[in-house]
Structure 1
Amino acid sequence: MTHARTYSGTLIQEPSLREQEHSRLARRAAAEGIVLLKNTGTLPLDLSAPVALFGAGASRTVKGGIGSGDVNNRSNVSIYQGLKDAGLRLTSEGWIEDYEARYHAARAAWKQKVLEAAKQVDNPFDAYSANPFVLPQGRPIVPQDVQGAAAVVYVLSRIAGEGKDRRLEKGDYYLSDSEWNDLRTLDRLGLPIVLLLNAGGPVELTDLLDVAVHIEAVLQLSQLGQEGGHAVADVLLGKTTPEGKLTATWARRYTDYPCAERFSYLDGDLEKAVYQEGIYVGYRYFDSFGVQPLFPFGYGLSYTDFSLRFAGLRVGSDAIEVDVETENAGICFSGREVVQVYISCPQNGGAKELRRLAGFAKTRLLAPEECQTLTIRIPQKQLAAFAPQKQGWVVEQGLYGVWVGNSSASVTLCAQIRVDAETLIERTHPICPLDHSLDELGAANAAQKEASHPAGLPVYGFCPQPQSLPERPAAPLAEGPVEELIPLLYGNITKGTSTLGSAGVRVPGSAGESTEELEASHGVPSLIMADGPAGLRLRQSYQVDRASGRVYGVGVLGSLENGYLETPPQHDNADTYYQFCTAFPVGTALAQTWDTALMEEFGRAIAREMEEFGVDLWLAPGMNIQRNPLCGRNFEYYAEDPFLSGTLAAAVTCGVQQSGRCGVTIKHFACNNQEDNRMGVDVQISQRALREIYLRGFEIAVKTAAPAAIMSSYNRINGVYASNSRDLCTVLARQEWGFDGVIMSDWNTTVPDDGSTPWKCAAAGNDIIMPGNPDDDADIRSAYAGGSLSEEDIRTCAGRVMALAKKLRG
């Protein structure tokens, strides 16, 4: 029997040309994002010299985080496989073989634990997220394991993901006893040790590095996707020169982070999160308070050396351009450098960071003694501070320092900018008010109040220009009976809807769809949405009954871990369709490239897969600020710095949306900086910190790249759920930033008695509630009938959804 419906994917199981091309891109991106933190000369390794390989991540390298940020790709290359494929001889094959047996036993025990826990909860995903798999430790290392080796490679791995924050415990933020014993044993054996950090965020290394004298190289891999093992081999063996830079500060001690003891579960109160550090996040805190980090923001070594020379500055009407001549000063290796420009602002008595990132650029591949002059543009808003008392962004009067370097801690003051008069460059509206005072860190707390400006530096005058709010055409009001438009305000209601992987119907494994109820009557197609941000998250394969054309579904557990927890049954008289997507490096690893051209290329690759599988909206990039290293979802996010985060997200957005047929959904808007109680926590924050740190990246992405959609976060901000906040969804995003796309909720945010109110989403300008359930419909209709929700609000939200469907689906 012939069915009119078409199905996503292909009946061909063999790797496609697209898979092969994207695998090569994933490998290149992974290698570019690796950060060399220490090297005393051990690297690169000699291919002819045997190596001993150990650690939980050696043969079971973690490709990415768990939850909606996972990708069900075809296969992954471990570091063990990557080194073997490169031709490196390993002396520790016996240790690896023993570890594999331990790994499979641990996976089987974990599976049973999750299945038992799933019987006790309504949503099986809650059992999965509450019980993350922990890589087992290997057997103790003995001298025979390293016999004949010239060096040791040790892979320290961590798994984290959606729904649970990392723990301040051994085996997570701290080294486990087994890891500590392994590395101390190896140190005593006297061979050079190369330590590889296969984790989505920092692991505290200070004590280890203080005592283990033979750890001669340290590399932060993050989680590198499906080609991670090959990328690591490329770097370790010198095929590729490391060029990544950290996008978050690594502290010597966890307690060195601002307000560290109050993060998430640590203070025993998950109902509220008080952002007492204010604007002092990441390097802004470490620099301003004189706290020495282990590895600073923007830091990363190479196999070669670079020299930077300030080559001039030009002042425009609303921006400043800085020229920096960059030379590869080495004699052996070609490489690339990231030139970073920071601005120090006048210290006029209020809270002000010592320096802030104002611009950056990356060189092309430079041969030894080759030079390139980079021009780095600094928008005038990077000189501004938000002034709540003036309700706007202000460039203050005084001298601004221009600092050039290759990390936040390695910069040179090269020039000064003089502003003769304070200028209000942008007026804003009051948003998200606090109903009580907040005792934030301020200027009086800072150890360093102002950077010195020595005499003899060039001084350039700059006159900031007031900017008007951007203009966008108003969304057309949807026509027709208002009661018929209400289904556009929530997703396509399906049986078995969950927080992960079972809400999509037309593309199996997709996260969800907008409604299909108006397709026949109004010609409004449903929009297919798939998770990210390391690639598309779809089911690897699915079956279709030949007689009826029905797609056989799977439950929540079947959609996780490529079906490991619950293997989907195989059906007779059915066709199998394959949807092999690419697992690219996680968001942090991509961001560590500091390469906007690569990020745009990555975006184009995502769009190619979206078009292949029929996906309209990619639920990424994730761009929340890495406020604290214990956030369980930091691996999805780019940086602790909003300018870097927004600039990289804009590049990805431009790549995805280049063809006009695909859209991104930047998320989670806003202040989703912890996972424990993410659906209920109330973030208490000043308007200044909110705007300068947590909203600024979103603002940059919206204004420079016009993303198709925004996803609101689960949490409350100063008492109001983000999806119910008209201040965020309408006043800020649309009136101030000119956003003209669709805003959707995070999945199941309107769970009764445990989240936001459905009709208030529409009233706020949160156009679609995802993934949609009957309670949403009943609540909206009741509010409309009772007069709480206006007809105009319904028509406005529906009109934006219809406009986006027309834009993407024609």
Structure 2
Amino acid sequence: MAKKKMSKKKFRIVWNSILSVLLVIVLAANVALYYFSDVITSYFSTIDLDSAEAVKARESSELVAEQIADEGIVLLQNDENALPLDTSEDSKTKVNVFGWSFTNPIYGGTGSGSSDASTAVTPKAGLEAAGFEVNEQLYNAYVDTGIKRPLVGMDGQDWSIPEPKPSDFYTDELMQQAKDFSDVAIIFLARSGGEGADLPRTMDGPDTFDPDGGSFGATGQKFGYEDDLDASKHYLELSNREQGMIDAVTQNFNNVILVVNSANTFELGWVDQYDQIKSVLNVAGPGQNGFNSLGKVLSGEVNPSGRTVDLYPKDLLDSPAIANFGDFDYVIENNDGTYSQAVDSSNVLLKYVDYSEGIYVGYRFYETAATLGAINYDEKVQYPFGYGLSYTSFEQEVVPNSLNWTDTEVTVDVKVTNTGSVEGKDVVQLYFTAPYTGKIEKSSIDLAAFEKTNSIKPGESETVTLTFNVEDMASYDANKQYSDTGSYVLEAGEYKLMLMNNSHEKIADVGSKNLTEIVYDSTGRSTDKQVAVNQFDDEVTGEGSITTYLSRANNFANLTDINKNEIYTVTTSEGSTKEVKGKLVDSEFVSFINSSRYDVPADTNDKAPITGADNGKQLKDYTGLDINDESWDQLLDQLTVDDLVNLATLGGYRTLEIDSVGKPGTLDYDGPAAINNMNMAANGQSGTAFPSEIMIASTWNLELAEAMGEHVGAEAKAYGVTGWYAPAMNIHRTAFAGRNFEYYSEDGLLSGKMAAAVTKGFQSQGGYVYIKHFALNDQETNRTFGVLTWSNEQAIREIYLKPFEIAVKEGGAKAVMSSFNSIGNTWAGADNGLLKEVLRNEWGFAGHVITDFYMNGGGLNAYPYMNVELALRNGNDLMLTGAAPMGVPEVNTSSNDTLWALRDAAHNILYNTANSIAIEGDLSSEMPQWVIITIIIDALLVLGFATAFFFVFRNSKKREEIVDSIKAV
């Protein structure tokens, strides 16, 4: 039977339908491509890493990176002068290295602070380059275990501590082979850290986050090797398997060297139990080639000169801050007597953290408590702050009559003599003691100034000059004992200066002076542009704030009173129950937080700013012009409303090109250890991996810090990158913060000086830094909930803002990244007191502020407390929308106040661009390659569809003609 032919009408309908559907699909695909053009362009963008300028910059960077590691390795113990190993003897060049981590070490950290270490020098290669022969059989035995480095990152945390089971691995045969190979044993331990999660304080996880986690938060907590896991231990002490390894090694070797590869302070009190462990070295994340430095230090080619940047307690859970670090909930009592976690109006859990220890962070607590007799220092502390050993000996003495203590400045010369037999460098540390009257809290000792010497040959000397301002010894009177506003105060009394080896070991009294009372409430300090007054009272003294702060009164009598958290059994939204630690609040408190987070004030401006004017101005003409010059108005008037909105809201890893004012686009990439971000990582690209910031700080060498910034800046310039999301300078409040590796220290002065030096170095190459995370972002736990961080203004200013203040005032930082957390009840990215009053008006900052990763708009509602209207109005100029258009907020352009805030934001961004190397480039007219390919494909598809529709129509027409002919016959 013949197949029935399709009728002309059906033929036309079917094929027109098919072609129409295909056309709709193509049109939808083009709309999607347009919508996600930013993401696609970012993914397919590459940076020319092979240009002559880029190659030269990286080669130079690698030299500086290794110099940093040379001076950043800290020698913590060296009994019987066990180090350096004598490489002149064949027997000493052979070494056994125990510890699985030697085969897979930690080069830095994870998250936005990570860098590509795929080509980095391994510890084994570093030792071999220094002339050592590593026991290959032992090394391969670890490799053959098949153990992999656990993931500690934003996508999940595996806190397993990888080591083979001692009873199975350390057989008599293996240990005998090792002893036959060499009598030198090196033990290698490593710990990781990263963005998104803090380190666990118990290895079964009950004090960590919600296992389900969230965006940029801890997810998938895992703790491995359950067969011998000791849940009572924390991540920064020996695991049971490591303990077994150390027992096995020390039972077979009497000359043991311990290498701790960790940026987080590791608990080392157990070392005292092993006479066989002669030497201890700390190697924080060494970056690209820092393990070369380890080999050189072990061989004596490099004399170690690093110093600790944190005090090492014997028990890391002993510090006052630990009691209020981690996961804390606000809890509401329900009508039926049950409890539930408090949430805001956007269903964000209300999490908090109390900085109840006040100013007594790190060495400030331990040194003060020891001075008062409240603790036995030797029982509590393993190594002081600023501590480190050398292969030589130094003598430091104050140059007679060199102390010059005026009303404004203190200057003193210190002569440093190498009294040993090896060339080396020393660190000179000057501390002060201020009088304690009971009105303002005071540490018994504070770092005032420091310098690192050049390399000094045996028998030779170098004189260094230490200088600081008298007003730097002032404390902040947050409780208004001396003024009605709060102010910096030099209380009357005796101020003492001490030359110290570290925070605990005094070399000499430098001098003392009785000062009269000075209250900086009218003229302010010499470095302030505006008198400092309390700016955070509304945020940190309202409902929900801390009622008791640690005080040294009566020998820290209230130390046991600073932890007021209770345990509650709460019912979750799914109906299950769990225990949480927290505080009880009521609905009024929740309403108070809702108002702080989400209420946008009514407009105060009757008129909108001028937009879209034709004044003929170009941004390049404004280079070098003061930011407050009135002529900026003519340029700003040219910006359209779309220009204003797009410039502020599309700020992830860039600033936009704006044709109306001739603004070129910029690339702003991550750090802080390398020029790196998600775009480069997606294409297997990265700048030089410098050592982690804690290792940079451990050098105590500001010249090296500036050189590091300069060389990162040179690389950025070669790659076409203008802005750098670095340096990071939050405080090591505890040892367990996940991002301690990318922060400098527990001390604000050391952190600030390092940050200022890096900033000056980078910006000397024509770019600008984004100092971060501003401020009090000192833990990862609950950061993406906008954790309510409660402190007092004295601690905020003296400890947590200090590094940023120095980076702005001395380093000239031009950009700032605000933080996820809240300061008290106010998101840091919308805190007027922080971003306008303190940063701009007090410190004189001129530039722009960007948020941390922004995801509240464009279909995403991950961080609803990040309110774009409040951010713009309170000094945050740019939204870090890293997955544009997802996360890009809608801006209320009908609000005059918002339009004026957008104009101010544009002003700040344009000012930075005009004074950067980016202004030298032309506006980009080059179309991305994928867009060109898409246009070609679209053109071909249009031609194809036109042809197809033509043939369908013609074929249908022929069928009609044939039918008509048949009918006529």
TM bucket by the smaller chain? 0.7 to 0.9
Which residue of 418, 425, 432 maps to 2:514?
Answer: 418
Pairwise CA distance, 1:701: 1.0
Pairwise CA distance, 1:60: 1.7
Instruction: After superposition, give the CA deviation of every residue in 1:400-440 in whole Å (9 maximum; x if it has no partner).
Output: 01010120011232210221333424331322222045310
User: What does residue 902 of structure 2 align with?
Assistant: 794
2:369 is equivalent to residue 289 of structure 1: yes
Pairwise CA distance, 1:628: 0.5
Maintained 8 Å contact 1:56/1:138: no
Aligned pairs (5 A) from 1:593-632: 593-632=699-738
Secondary structure of the equivalent of 1:365?
coil
Aligned pairs (5 A) from 1:422-441: 422-424=518-520, 425-426=524-525, 427-433=531-537, 434-435=541-542, 436-441=545-550
Instruction: After superposition, give the CA deviation of every residue in 1:475-521 in whole Å (9 maximum; x if it has no partner).
Output: 9452235522333553537xxxxxxxxx6xxxxxxxx21234x2x33
Which residue of 75, 78, 101 maps to 1:39?
Answer: 78
Letter in structure 2 aligned against 1:588: I
1:439–1:489 distance in 2 versus 1, CA, 3 Å: farther
User: What does residue 94 of structure 1 align with?
Assistant: 137
Maintained 8 Å contact 2:356/2:548: yes
Which residue of 188, 191, 194 maps to 1:155?
Answer: 188
User: What does residue 537 of structure 1 align with?
Assistant: 676
1:377–1:149 distance in 2 versus 1, CA, 3 Å: same
User: What does residue 277 of structure 1 align with?
Assistant: 357
Which residue of 763, 768, 777 maps to 2:873?
Answer: 763
Distance 2:144 2:59 in 1: 31
Instruction: After superposition, give the CA deviation of every residue in 1:682-736 in whole Å (9 maximum; x if it has no partner).
Output: 1001111101110111111101121120000100001100001111111110011
Q: CA RMSD in A?
A: 2.7
User: What does residue 51 of structure 1 align with?
Assistant: 95
2:536 is equivalent to residue 407 of structure 1: no
Letter in structure 2 aligned against 1:799: H
Distance 1:666 1:238 in 2: 37
Distance 1:289 1:325 in 2: 31
Given the two structures, how large is their TM-score scaled by the length of structure 2? 0.70
Secondary structure of the equivalent of 1:226?
coil
Letter in structure 1 aligned against 2:901: D
Distance 1:487 1:99 in 2: 56
User: What does residue 262 of structure 1 align with?
Assistant: 324
Pairwise CA distance, 1:72: 2.0
2:555 is equivalent to residue 515 of structure 1: no
2:774 is equivalent to residue 669 of structure 1: yes
Which residue of 394, 411, 422 maps to 1:306?
Answer: 394
Pairwise CA distance, 1:17: 3.8
Secondary structure of the equivalent of 1:730?
helix
1:522–1:342 distance in 2 versus 1, CA, 3 Å: same
Instruction: After superposition, give the CA deviation of every residue in 1:104-129 in whole Å (9 maximum; x if it has no partner).
Output: x535xx68xx9xxxxxxxxxx84x24
User: What does residue 444 of structure 1 align with?
Assistant: 553
Aligned pairs (5 A) from 1:568-647: 579-647=685-753
Which residue of 339, 360, 370 maps to 2:428?
Answer: 339
1:397–1:244 distance in 2 versus 1, CA, 3 Å: same
Distance 1:131 1:26 in 2: 29
Letter in structure 1 aligned against 2:509: L
Distance 1:37 1:394 in 2: 38
Distance 1:744 1:644 in 2: 25
Instruction: After superposition, give the CA deviation of every residue in 1:293-349 in whole Å (9 maximum; x if it has no partner).
Output: 11110000000111111223112452210211111111x211111110000001111
Letter in structure 2 aligned against 1:9: D
Secondary structure of the equivalent of 2:111?
coil
User: What does residue 194 of structure 1 align with?
Assistant: 257
Structure 1 unmatched runs, 5+:
115-124, 450-470, 494-502, 504-511, 543-553, 563-578
Letter in structure 2 aligned against 1:794: L
Which residue of 226, 231, 235 maps to 2:293?
Answer: 231
Letter in structure 2 aligned against 1:697: P
Distance 2:54 2:707 in 1: 21
Maintained 8 Å contact 1:714/1:749: no
Distance 1:17 1:740 in 2: 32
Maintained 8 Å contact 2:107/2:287: yes
Maintained 8 Å contact 2:330/2:351: no
Question: 274-283 vs 318-327, which deviates more?
Answer: 318-327
Structure whose CA Rg is larger = 2
Maintained 8 Å contact 1:540/1:580: no
Maintained 8 Å contact 2:53/2:718: no
2:457 is equivalent to residue 364 of structure 1: no
Instruction: After superposition, give the CA deviation of every residue in 1:538-586 in whole Å (9 maximum; x if it has no partner).
Output: 57979xxxxxxxxxxx5xxxx7xx5xxxxxxxxxxxxxxxx45211110
Letter in structure 2 aligned against 1:348: T
Structure 2 unmatched runs, 5+:
1-40, 204-232, 332-349, 526-530, 559-625, 920-969
1:245–1:481 distance in 2 versus 1, CA, 3 Å: closer
Letter in structure 2 aligned against 1:8: I
Pairwise CA distance, 1:530: 1.1
Pairwise CA distance, 1:760: 0.9
Distance 2:815 2:53 in 1: 34
Letter in structure 2 aligned against 1:305: S
Secondary structure of the equivalent of 1:294?
strand
Distance 1:320 1:176 in 2: 48
1:757–1:150 distance in 2 versus 1, CA, 3 Å: same
Aligned pairs (5 A) from 1:74-153: 75-91=119-135, 93-103=136-146, 106=148, 126=154, 128-131=155-158, 135-137=162-164, 140-141=169-170, 142-144=174-176, 145-153=178-186
Which residue of 737, 750, 760 maps to 1:654?
Answer: 760
Aligned pairs (5 A) from 1:494-513: 512-513=653-654
Distance 2:188 2:328 in 1: 28
Instruction: After superposition, give the CA deviation of every residue in 1:754-792 in whole Å (9 maximum; x if it has no partner).
Output: 331011110011000112655776532x2x4245x4432
Distance 2:768 2:812 in 1: 10
Distance 2:241 2:724 in 1: 40
User: What does residue 603 of structure 2 align with?
Assistant: none
Distance 2:259 2:758 in 1: 28
Which residue of 411, 415, 421 maps to 1:325?
Answer: 415
Distance 1:202 1:288 in 2: 21
Distance 1:592 1:485 in 2: 45
1:650–1:30 distance in 2 versus 1, CA, 3 Å: same
Question: 663-672 vs 417-426, which deviates more?
Answer: 417-426
1:347–1:643 distance in 2 versus 1, CA, 3 Å: same
User: What does residue 248 of structure 2 align with?
Assistant: 185
1:785–1:267 distance in 2 versus 1, CA, 3 Å: closer
Secondary structure of the equivalent of 1:25?
helix
Secondary structure of the equivalent of 1:407?
coil
Secondary structure of the equivalent of 1:429?
coil
Maintained 8 Å contact 2:106/2:191: yes
Letter in structure 1 aligned against 2:516: D
1:663–1:183 distance in 2 versus 1, CA, 3 Å: same
2:60 is equivalent to residue 21 of structure 1: yes
